[in-house]
Every structure is written in structure tokens, then in C-alpha cells.
Amino acid sequence: MSGTMKQVVLASYAKGNPKPSDFRIEQVPVPEPGEREMLLQTLYIAVDPLIRFSLDEKLLSGASRMDLGAVMVGPTVCKVVASNHPDYSPGDFVEGRTAWAEYAVVAPDQSDYRGPPRKLDPSLAPVSTALGALGGPGQTAYEGVVNVGRLKAGETIVVSAAAGAVGSMAGQIAKALGARAVGIAGGEAKCKALLDLGFDAVADYKEPDFADQLKAALPEGADVYFENVGGDVTLAVLPLLKRGARMPMCGFIAYYGVGMEGPGPDHLPGFYRHIMAKGLEIKGFAGIFAGQKGLDDIAGWIKEGKVRFPESLVDGIDAVPEAFSSVFSGHDHVGKLLVRIAPET
Ligand SMILES: NC(=O)c1ccc[n+]([C@@H]2O[C@H](COP(=O)([O-])OP(=O)(O)OC[C@H]3O[C@@H](n4cnc5c(N)ncnc54)[C@H](OP(=O)(O)O)[C@@H]3O)[C@@H](O)[C@H]2O)c1
């Protein structure tokens, strides 16, 4: 296939939260697939917060660091345009980690630990859900709630960043398990969206009476805290955890822009006091461990009408830098934020 395409490259390392000016859009030739490779047309790009870990000048944590001028990479859903690989045919829909570009060449035999691109069946669910409810965010929510949090029917879970891709699934999975779900989000619209999704109560962390809202939402405390944020949100949750509460540590987005030190004198001494006094169990995890079992259970709950898959769309590759940056600075989107690069048909 000849012609040119747009791609997003890293223009400067992120200082604090990423800004659209940290990225540059380039026009380049569409690549040609070689032996056992395929050419993909990008349909959706997921602007995941964890990509921030690869944007520090010096790698602090995470798997890799981007070079300046390199094409950004992340979770995508694509359509196969041309294939020199026997396992894939033109027209197939696939989910994987590919370039932030309108087209990408992929060698399935040289995939990373996630394995080759996953083929999707559009008759089972919209292919975009492979980046949300039926993909990494769904698996992450499942791993945190079911395997790490060990949430049981009748217990209460509190979820931070609850209106995001992972949080919105975590609360719904909790409800499907027969637990009580309390969501923390920023702004009235997001809090209302959580109640519409079936959360039992919400607290708006952007309001001055947030701590009181949270107390009212958790009159008997919480058995599990699904941690996505860190900082002041976490400090408000800790006093409300029950003895022996579990704290699946999924992420800490409020601190992604501040390196290893944290802002000023941190609150770790008080944090550790809560851990000791209450015998809290805190465990970090990665969503991929939920595997196919997590996705199968979620698909079953979707079929039963117990779980929905909220997603928000913005359009065009030029919108990717702004969309990615908005994840860290508060936006109005609920559920998985996707950038639609091309129509599915
Ligand atoms: N462990 C794993 O395997 C794994 C996998 C995927 C994601 N994660 C982590 O899970 C968390 C959620 O990811 P996601 O994919 O659901 O992201 P998402 O859909 O982009 O949602 C992120 C949400 O975080 C909230 N937020 C941003 N900055 C904040 C701040 N300073 N204080 C409080 N809230 C803030 C925003 O909601 P508001 O507008 O309500 O502030 C935003 O909607 C992140 O920490 C991410 O890194 C971990």
C-alpha cells in the first residue's frame, strides 16, 4: 500500500503531567510488511495512564523508556490490511500494542510478553471493548477486586478514579459479586454517571466536603480499597478502612508526574501507622494476571446485563496528544477514553 500517514512521536520528556506539546505529529510513508509480517490500520488508540511511566528522561519504574523522536506505542485495536503471516487475514480485527500511527507493521512472531495480537470476533462485542471492559482495564479491575481484594458478597469496596476505565469496571464487578460499591470521582457529572452504572454511593474528591461525603458513604467502613490514585484521596480513605482491610494497589495517578520523591514531606509515616494499627494488607498487581478467566467472567456478566462497558470517544490522530494529557488533568469522560483513528468499515 503506498501513500503517507500520520504518526505521533515523543518531542520532549514529560515534566510533571504530560502536555500535548510533549508530542509531535509527523507525516511519513505508510510502511510495507515484510516476510511473516502484516500491515494494520489503526481503528482505536487507548490513552492509558501507565504510558506515562515510559516518558521520564530516566526510567523510574515500568518496562521501558521512550527515546526522543521515537513513535509512541500503546494499546490499540486495528484491522488487518495486508498479511504475510498465515495466522492473520485481511479484514481481521486485532488488539495489541502498536504505534500511535494511522498504520503499523507488526511481526506476530516477535511479540512481547503479552503474546501476538489477539484476534477479535466483532459478532461477540464491539471491537473497541477489547481496550476496555473486555481487555486490559477489565482484566485489571477483575484481578484487583476478585484475586487481590478477595471481595465477598455483603462486603463493601471503595474505588478511587472510579469513573475511569478500570474503576468503572471494578465497581460493577463488585456489584455483580453481591458487594456494596462506593466510588470516588471528580465532579458532579462523573459522580452521577457512577450512580447510573449501579454504584451504591459516591464521593466527589473535588468538593471541599469530600471527607464528610466519604464518611457518609461508608457508615460502617470499607473491607477493600481499590487504589488508583494516592495522595489526598488515599489519606481520606485510610481512616475509614476496617481492621484487616485489603488494599489492591492498582495505580497512583496523582503521583505519576512527581518522580520518586513525592511532593514535600509525604504522609508515609501516617500511612504506615494505619497499616500497622489496622493490619492492612496492601498488594501491588498487574491486570494481565486475571487472564482469560477474568475476561470470560466479565463477558458472562455483560450477557446477564450486570455489567456495562462505558467508553468515551474523541476523533482523529491529531487528537491523541490532547486526549492522553487530559487523563492526568481531569476531563469529562466516563469509562475508557479512546481515540477513534478510522471507521471500522
Ligand atoms: N496495575 C495495572 O495493571 C494497571 C493497569 C491499568 C491501569 N492501571 C492504573 O489504574 C488507574 C486507572 O487507570 P484507567 O485506565 O482507569 O485510567 P483512566 O480511564 O484514564 O482514568 C483515570 C482517571 O484518574 C483520575 N485522576 C487523574 N488524576 C487524578 C488525581 N490527581 N487525583 C485523583 N484522580 C485523578 C481521573 O478521574 P477524575 O476526573 O475523577 O479525577 C481520570 O478519569 C491508573 O492509576 C492506572 O495507571 C494499572
Compute the 3-state secondary structure of the chain and give helix, strand, coil in percent, each to the nearest 5. Answer: 35, 25, 40
Instruction: Confirm or reject: Cβ of 17 under 6 Å from ligand 1.
Output: no
Ligand 1 atom closest to the CA of 253, numbered from 1: 45
Average pLDDT over residues 92-110: 96
Q: Which pLDDT band, with edges at 50, 70 and 90, does 115 fall under?
A: confident
For the cut 90, the answer to whether the pLDDT of residue 164 exceeds it is: yes
Which residue, by CA, sits nearest to atom 2 of ligand 1? 286
In the chain, the percentage of residues whose pLDDT exceeds 90 is 83
Q: Are 19 and 322 in contact (CB under 8 A)?
A: no
- Position 61 scores a pLDDT of 79
Residue in 170, 180, 231, 169 with CA at minimum distance from that of residue 206: 231
Q: Which pLDDT band, with edges at 50, 70 and 90, does 265 fall under?
A: low
Which residue, by CA, sits nearest to atom 45 of ligand 1? 251
Residue 65 — φ and ψ, nearest 5°?
Answer: -120, 135
Instruction: Classify strands 180-185 and 156-159 as parallel, antiparallel or unpaired.
Output: parallel
Q: Candidates 158, 166, 283, 326: which one to mutate for ligand 1, based on the most atoms within 8 Å of Cβ?
A: 166
Helix (H, G, I), strand (E, B), or coil: what is residue 332? coil
Q: How many C-alpha atoms does 150 have within 13 Å on its Cβ side?
A: 6
Burial of 115 (0-12, 13-18, 19+ CB in 10 A): exposed
Instruction: Confirm or reject: Cβ of 138 under 6 Å from ligand 1.
Output: no
- Position 142 scores a pLDDT of 98
Q: How many CB atoms lie under 10 A from the CB of residue 120?
A: 22
| Domains of the chain and any CATH numbers | 4-132+309-340 (3.90.180.10), 137-303 (3.40.50.720)
Ligand 1 atom closest to the CA of 250, numbered from 1: 1
Q: Are 15 and 37 in contact (CB under 8 A)?
A: no
**205, three cell numbers:** 474528591
Q: pLDDT digit string (tens) for 125-157? A: 999 999 999 999 999 999 999 999 999 999 999
Helix (H, G, I), strand (E, B), or coil: what is residue 18? coil
Q: How many C-alpha atoms does 64 have within 13 Å on its Cβ side?
A: 9
Q: Which pLDDT band, with edges at 50, 70 and 90, does 263 fall under?
A: low
CB-based contacts of 280, cutoff 8 Å, min separation 6: 241, 244, 245, 246, 247, 274
Tell me the one-letter amino acid at 256. Answer: Y
The whole-angstrom separation of Cα 88 and Cα 6 is 24
Tell me the one-letter amino acid at 269. Answer: P
Instruction: Confirm or reject: Cβ of 183 under 6 Å from ligand 1.
Output: no
Helix (H, G, I), strand (E, B), or coil: what is residue 312? strand
Instruction: Confirm or reject: Cβ of 250 under 6 Å from ligand 1.
Output: yes
Q: pLDDT digit string (tens) for 309-334? A: 999 999 999 999 999 999 998 778 89
Q: Are 80 and 88 in contact (CB under 8 A)?
A: yes
CB-based contacts of 293, cutoff 8 Å, min separation 6: none
**52, three cell numbers:** 506515562
Identify the weakest region by mean pLDDT among 49-58, 157-166, 201-210: 49-58
Average pLDDT over residues 198-224: 98
The whole-angstrom separation of Cα 337 and Cα 127 is 14
